[in-house]
Structure 1
Amino acid sequence: MEIRAATELPARREDIELHTADDLTLVGELAVPEGGAPVATLVTLHPLPTHGGFMDSHVYKKAANRLPALADLAVLRFNTRGTSSDRGTSEGAFDGGEGERFDVAAALEYAEFHDLPRVWVVGWSFGTELALKWAHDPLVEGAILLSPPLHRATDDDLDRWAEFGRPLTVLVPEFDDYLRPEEARARFSRVPQAEVIGVDGAKHLWVGEPYVRIVLDEIVKRVNPAAFPLPTEWSLE
């Protein structure tokens, strides 16, 4: 069977709740391999909720649909404060990336409490800002950024990530609306361990199955290289 845009491969999927230090309940989902324990975990931070971003934003939905089966990864998705999806609405209100520090912490605490292994943070657009600002946690092995605008995240945040020392992979679309590869390489030069990858033909929202495949392959290449490259077919046997 060819893996297509809407393909949902086998996994154990569970609705979860996260509880923040400022007393909010956030809704989410955890998808893990059907037949055993994950080898690593993706904690995903979605795009800007005031512009349609949420836990079901298509790259993350496809990651949850495929990567537990194809790469033995756990995928944790959740709605940040005030954000809604089919799963429900997280309590609170959008806070421009500041109060969301508690949301990031709650997701990482959930992963730690539930013994999810080898946590990597994946941020997309607004989610990259949250990762750079608030994911400096000893639990985190590294981060992967998709379409970073570097609006809310400042040079000081980049310097803090440099000091944090964890790997940073940055996927930048050729035709991004906010930050394109050449400028991204200049901005991220402050982080010695950052790898900036320009993706030819891609745009900020990674629309199109070929670009989704590139993103998922690059994630797996860092987090579970034994599963790279991802297959494009799935056996029904």
Structure 2
Amino acid sequence: MEIRAATVLPARREPIELHTADDLTLVGELALPADRPPVATLVTLHPLPTHGGFMDSHLYKKAANRLPALADLAVLRFNTRGTSSERGTSGGAFDRGEGERYDVAAALEYAEFHDLPKVWVVGWSFGTELALKWAHDPLVQGAILLSPPLHRATDDDLDAWAAFGRPLTALVPEFDDYLRPEEARKRFARVPQAEVVGVDGAKHLWVGEPYVRIVLDEIVKRVNPAAYPLPTEV
């Protein structure tokens, strides 16, 4: 069977709640391999909720639908404060990336408390800003940034990640609306351990199955290289 956009592969999928230090409840889902423990974990941070971003944004939904089965990964998705999806609405209200520090911390605390292995943070657009600003946690193995705009995240945040020392990969679309590969390489040069991967033909939202496959492959290449490249049929 060819893996297509709507393919959902077997996994254990559990509704979860996260509890923040400022007393909010956030809704989410944890997807795990169906019959074995995960070898690593993706904590996903979604795009801007005021522009339609949420835990079901298509790259993350497809990651949860495929990667537990294809790459033995746990995929944790959740709605940041004030964000809604089919799973429900998280408490609180959008706070322009500031109060969301507690949301990131709650997701990482959940992963730690539940003994999820080798945690990598994956941010997309607004989620990359949250990763750069708030994911400096000893639990975090590294971060993968999809379409980083570098709006809210400043040079100071990049310098802080450089000092943090964990791997950082930025996947930057050739035709991104906010930051394109050449400029991204200049901005991320402040982070010695950063790798910028330009993706020919891609746009900010990674629409189209070929680009979804590139993104998921690049994630797996770093998080569980033994499963790279991902199969296109099962």
Please classify the TM superposition score into its range, dividing by the shorter chain length: over 0.9
TM-score, normalized by length of structure 1?
0.98
1:220, CA displacement in angstroms?
A: 0.1
- SS for the counterpart of 1:96 is coil
Distance in 2 (CA, whole Å) between partners of 1:6 and 1:64 is 12
1:112, CA displacement in angstroms?
A: 0.1
- Encode CA deviations 1:133-156: one digit per residue, 9 max, x unaligned: 000000000000000000000000
- SS for the counterpart of 2:145 is strand
- SS for the counterpart of 2:189 is helix
1:217, CA displacement in angstroms?
A: 0.1
Distance in 2 (CA, whole Å) between partners of 1:137 and 1:213 is 29
- SS for the counterpart of 2:8 is coil
Distance in 1 (CA, whole Å) between partners of 2:212 and 2:132 is 22
- Encode CA deviations 1:14-35: one digit per residue, 9 max, x unaligned: 0000000000000000000001
1:117, CA displacement in angstroms?
A: 0.2
Aligned-CA RMSD value: 0.6
1:86, CA displacement in angstroms?
A: 0.2
1:200, CA displacement in angstroms?
A: 0.1
Distance in 2 (CA, whole Å) between partners of 1:20 and 1:139 is 17
Distance in 2 (CA, whole Å) between partners of 1:136 and 1:16 is 23
4+ runs deviating over 6 angstroms:
none
Distance in 2 (CA, whole Å) between partners of 1:128 and 1:189 is 17
1:47, CA displacement in angstroms?
A: 0.1
- Encode CA deviations 1:21-53: one digit per residue, 9 max, x unaligned: 000000000000001100000000000000000
Unaligned 5+ residue runs, structure 2? none
1:224, CA displacement in angstroms?
A: 0.2
- Encode CA deviations 1:50-93: one digit per residue, 9 max, x unaligned: 00000000000000000000000000000000000000000000
Q: 1:197 maps to what in 2? A: 197
Distance in 1 (CA, whole Å) between partners of 2:148 and 2:225 is 24
1:176, CA displacement in angstroms?
A: 0.1
1:232, CA displacement in angstroms?
A: 0.4
- How many pairs are equivalent? 234
- Encode CA deviations 1:111-166: one digit per residue, 9 max, x unaligned: 00000000000000000000000000000000000000000000000000000000
Q: 1:119 maps to what in 2? A: 119
1:99, CA displacement in angstroms?
A: 0.0
- SS for the counterpart of 1:190 is coil
TM-score, normalized by length of structure 2?
1.00
The answer to whether structure 1 residue 177 and structure 2 residue 177 are counterparts is: yes
